[in-house]
Amino acid sequence: MAKAGVDFIARTPTVVDLLEAIRRTETPEIFDEKALRWGFGRLTPGEGRVLEGVIAGKGSREIGLELGMSPKTVEAHRARINGKTRARDAGELIRLWKAWQALE
Q: Assign residue 37 a region: left if phi > 0, alpha if psi is -120 to 50, beta otherwise?
A: alpha
Cα gap 75→16, rounded to integer Å: 33
Report percent pLDDT > 90 for the chain.
47
C-alpha angle 62-63-66 in degrees, rounded to nearest 5: 90
- Which domains, from first to last, does the chain contain? 2-103 (1.10.10.10)
Residue 1's pLDDT is: 42
* Average pLDDT along the chain: 82
Residue 3's pLDDT is: 46
Residue 29's pLDDT is: 54
Which uninterrupted H or E stretch holds 95? helix 90-103
Under-70 pLDDT residues of the chain: 1-11, 20-31
